[in-house]
Structure 1
Amino acid sequence: MTSHPNNSKHKPRRRAAKQTDPLAADSDSMPPRAIATSLDSIEVVPRTPVTARRGYSHDPRTPDGVNEVELSLLGEEERHAAASDLTLDEEQAYLAQADGKRPMSARDKQAIVLLIILYLIQGFPLGLALGSIPFILREHLSYSELAVFSLSGYPYSLKLFWSPIVDSVFFPSIGRRKSWIIPMQLIIGTTMLLISLRAEQLMNNPGEHLYMLSFAFTSLVFFSATQDIAVDGWALTLLSEENLAYASTCQTIGLNTGYLMSYTVFLALNSEDFANKWGIPRLSLSSYLFFCALMSFAVTLWLFFIKEDKESTTEDISIKAVYVTMWEICKLRHVQILLGVHLLAKIGWQASDAATQLKMVEKGLGREDLAITVLIDFPFEIIGGWLAGKWARGDRPLRAWIYAFWPRLILTLVATLVVYYFPAPPISTGFFVGLVILTIFQSFASTIQFGGMSAFHTRISDPVVGGTYMTLLNTFTNLGGTWPRYFVLKGVDYFSVATCEIRDSDLSVSVKAQECVSEHGKAACAKLGGECVTEQDGYYIVSALCIGFGFLTIVLFLIPTARKLQAVPISKWRIYS
């Protein structure tokens, strides 16, 4: 494997292919539409393929002082002035493209299928590590112990640190992206195969094997994150410029499908009650891991028959230069603000994402009921991903992300109230239908936000360091949903007050027992002839804190800042030589 150094030192600077939409309107001029929308006149702002170079934190062709006002909304005159660089033919071609007159090519359709399958492979280990395994472990561990296992998701949020290596080091004979995708998928398949050999032993007594389980699934997430860097970079060259927004759609469909299979579908088939009800064999974790390993191997074999278009090596930069470039990108004022938005954006619903479904299962929601709920919701997620891709093709890709904020925060409050008023089993049909509707609206809002932000990332990323630029932005997106989770799960136990009440014929003893927050502690209390009683559930306190913080950040920072960020010209997101 070789690294391609920067050999453009004496090469003339490339001219930026600037294209700016002269017809853009205010970001608030078009109201959101929840399910169906007519998008016959999509405005597409093509990406400016300017190479990122170190040593410059702003465009030398712009006058001094622009950085001070680069977050201001552009007025009509400024937009027409920015559009003056377009020739008549370029403007006509652009307007024809914006009117949707250019159909999607067969090459783009094939690229979409390939990207969906590659993202699907990522969804398998992520669905296990972040979804089904915590559910199974909750039967044996406390929320604090689950917080330790939740750290296995961190590599997906920290892939930024090794993304320059993935972008710069490759075998030219194999391909820039396939040089990483193929070995990572082989390692993922092999790791799953090895875990499957001891899966049942580890899961039968997870308390003693907590750190081994955490290490195993942290490794899986690490290799999946590395594959994701290469796939994100490949998406920038697989798809044509006018269809780059569909990269986020591919990620939404592929990743969600793999996640669904490893999360709710596996949870249902792994349930003994579900297997007995439908008269089918129970699917063990070992068998499912073996199936995922075979799928990973099969897709990897298929990749050998797919030719990767050779990217120009004259624009490649060394690993050190990529790290320096990444640092220069981070020094841009609007990039710093965007990273701050990512770190704060998901706190409002973190308690709901981390613990709501676990609480529902505690209160009597069966695994099979949960699986049915998410299976019904899955088509709406796909529709949401597709609509997000279409909605984000204009010059305001963050519009959908902004409009989905309030519904998502309100639905989080509703979900908390549902947990509080959750009825004793059996659950009535009416309540279950309401639960399904709530799940559909929550996931639809989440998918719209994810698609809009991913499209914005794709639009502003430079293809030359595409994997690094995309990963820099996606890293902070993921980190925004990862870093609070550990503290949320810890907080549930911290704010909970539980006692072990032991009663006999003569007296009643109530002992405060922190262990009562786990199934192991409840079992120990039961052996003493007692019963764990929760006097204060920390879930509601943590949820209230998250929702309150989310409300303040939405009003005071997130939405106003997002509107300004999407008005920043694309050229301002680049570093010029």
Structure 2
Amino acid sequence: MKTKTVPLKSILLLLILYILQGVIIGFILAIPLYLDSRGAKWQEQGTFNFVFYPFSLKLAWAPIIDAVYISRFGRRKTWLIPIQFLLGIILFILSFYLTTLIEELKIKMLTCIFFLVYFLLASQDICVDSWALTLLTNYNLQWASTCQTVGQTFGRFIGFTILMTFESASFTNRFIRKPFSLSEKSYGLFTIDQFIRFWAIAFLLVSFCIALFKKEKHNDNHLNLCQTYLSIFQLFKKKCVRQLALLFLLSPIGYAATYAMTNLVLKKYGVPKESLGLLGIPLIFVKILIPFCITQTNRPLTWYNRAYLPRLFMCILIGIYIYFTPYILFQWYFYPILTCLFILNESLIYLMLVSRVGFYARISDPCIGGTYITLLSMLGNLGASLTSSAVLYIAEWIKPDRLAYPLLVGICFLLGCLWLIMQYRTVLRLQALPIEKWHLSSMTIVSDDINEEPPETGFKEEEERRNMTDGVIRDQSME
């Protein structure tokens, strides 16, 4: 089979858009720490937490972005360009007032502003996810998942870790100014205002370049707004979609305790939060490299299956090691071993994540691309949220407290094994379904060769070629 060239321009465009999105998400995740340094109470932190809700509710307006657009301008650019320009303008204006709002603890004002920013980011995410389906149509759609994971991860690293590190006066004075014999300052390499102003300008420049230089392929959506909303219910009429929804709603139960409780238990056992932050630095490289390992896969759900059992065993190893943390916390080998365990676990997490999101991209109907991917992503995130909440509530009932973590890790391991036994064949069957089975209509788009024909067809044609070759050889022998 002839290998298709990688669409570097499309991949670069998607990476830039996802990085911009990730930077602002990481930046907003850092705001509660700045509020805490100014003495914000738990109730005030809880009020600010409302800014994160738009990503969980974006299915409500995803059909609007899919169905309403200006054909001449481009189906995705109709929404993407105004959204990004608006984000850039809001962030640029905010950069002149942000420090004052934080110092004066204007919680309600900050919540309203960042709720609007997060709403625009969620809308931008719908546009970019759905645009990726058409940008990468003639290539392996696994690249859509890779671009999203790598871009958002790198962006969050910049928006959170880089900001928190180099905005800090103490870190900059100790590790940058002092080694270079520079005078100490009361601020870091940059202020939070300068940081957000720089990325506001980046949003405006990228939006201007896309509007001016990037032409979107003509793509007519034959569904009106009402039909696009009804398509959500039509999708759930499909047995395969219902099975996939149940699959991803229940699969997180196997690692729910490790996912929800590990950092909390480590902090309870005396591990400083600064150390937990440093542990996350080597994980960034894992999160960026792992997605590239399966860009050429044609069976993402198979990889999801393969990584599930090893991840369950990693949960057990991490649970055992953390159980003995009070006895080995101050030994020289504690952090190196813990880092290695986290790296292995994070590798499996991102292998499963990229496989799952890649499968979403492969089966989503471009006719309602934004709505379809948003629906599937919401189901996956909902499964993780529900199982994590259930584990944390149950942990309150287990006495003594020290037994809660290892006991729940063990129970989740058994439930995960049970899930794998019951759903293993279902996963393989869903993976083998033709792409058109997942679409609203029987019409399919031009896609990569794997999407266009079932695996069995390829085997049959290969067998026919072998038979023809054998026949020629036999004829030549008879001659």
TM-score range, shorter chain: 0.7 to 0.9
Alignment gaps of 5+ in structure 1: 1-95, 498-534
Instruction: Pick from 330, 333, 336 the counterpart of residue 236 of structure 2.
Output: 330
Alignment of 1:74-89 (within 5 A): none
Alignment of 1:489-568 (within 5 A): 536=401, 540=405, 544=409, 547=412, 551=416, 554-568=419-433
Are 2:142 and 1:277 equivalent residues in the alignment?
no
Question: d(CA) in 2 for partners of 1:561 and 1:143?
Answer: 44
TM-score relative to the length of structure 1: 0.65
Query: Are the aligned partners of 2:290 and 2:347 in contact in 1 as well (CA < 8 Å)?
Result: yes
The Cα of 1:120 is off from its aligned counterpart by 0.9
Note the alpha carbon deviations across 1:56-109, whole angstroms, 9 max, x for none. xxxxxxxxxxxxxxxxxxxxxxxxxxxxxxxxxxxxxxxx1xxxx32415xx11
Aligned to 2:376: 473
Aligned to 1:102: 3
Query: Are the aligned partners of 2:254 and 2:417 in contact in 1 as well (CA < 8 Å)?
Result: no
Are 2:185 and 1:288 equivalent residues in the alignment?
no
Change (3 A) 1:455 1:423: same
Instruction: Pick from 125, 130, 143 the counterpart of residue 24 of structure 2.
Output: 125
Are 2:305 and 1:402 equivalent residues in the alignment?
yes
Question: d(CA) in 2 for partners of 1:418 and 1:436?
Answer: 12
Question: d(CA) in 2 for partners of 1:537 and 1:176?
Answer: 55
Question: d(CA) in 2 for partners of 1:575 and 1:455?
Answer: 19
Instruction: Pick from 158, 170, 179 the counterpart of residue 57 of structure 2.
Output: 158
Query: Are the aligned partners of 2:309 and 2:417 in contact in 1 as well (CA < 8 Å)?
Result: no
Change (3 A) 1:172 1:570: closer
Note the alpha carbon deviations across 1:170-207, whole angstroms, 9 max, x for none. 1233211111111222233344345545544555586x
Query: Are the aligned partners of 1:186 and 1:296 in contact in 2 as well (CA < 8 Å)?
Result: yes
Question: d(CA) in 2 for partners of 1:146 and 1:343?
Answer: 29
Change (3 A) 1:425 1:415: closer
Amino acid in structure 2 at the alignment position of 1:406? L
TM-score relative to the length of structure 2: 0.77
Query: Are the aligned partners of 2:316 and 2:410 in contact in 1 as well (CA < 8 Å)?
Result: no
Query: Are the aligned partners of 2:22 and 2:155 in contact in 1 as well (CA < 8 Å)?
Result: yes
Instruction: Pick from 156, 159, 163 the counterpart of residue 262 of structure 1.
Output: 159
Change (3 A) 1:413 1:276: farther
Aligned to 1:450: 353
Aligned to 1:19: none
Change (3 A) 1:196 1:432: farther
Farther off after superposition, 157-166 or 413-422: 413-422
> Which secondary structure does the structure 1 equivalent of 2:144 belong to?
helix
Q: CA RMSD in A?
A: 3.6
> Which secondary structure does the structure 1 equivalent of 2:216 belong to?
coil
Aligned to 2:366: 463
Change (3 A) 1:428 1:223: farther
The Cα of 1:385 is off from its aligned counterpart by 0.4
The Cα of 1:253 is off from its aligned counterpart by 1.1
Change (3 A) 1:214 1:549: farther
Task: Give identity over the alignment, percent.
Answer: 30
Question: d(CA) in 2 for partners of 1:563 and 1:183?
Answer: 42
The Cα of 1:369 is off from its aligned counterpart by 4.2
Higher relative contact order (CA 8 A, sep 6+): 1
Alignment gaps of 5+ in structure 2: 178-186, 443-479
Aligned to 1:379: 285
Instruction: Pick from 432, 435, 444 the counterpart of residue 570 of structure 1.
Output: 435
Query: Are the aligned partners of 2:304 and 2:356 in contact in 1 as well (CA < 8 Å)?
Result: yes
Change (3 A) 1:324 1:433: same
Alignment of 1:238-253 (within 5 A): 238-253=135-150
Query: Are the aligned partners of 2:83 and 2:124 in contact in 1 as well (CA < 8 Å)?
Result: yes
The Cα of 1:495 is off from its aligned counterpart by 5.7
Alignment of 1:203-214 (within 5 A): 203=102, 209=107, 213-214=110-111
Aligned to 2:131: 234
Question: d(CA) in 2 for partners of 1:462 and 1:154?
Answer: 26
The Cα of 1:234 is off from its aligned counterpart by 1.0
- Higher-helix-fraction structure: 2
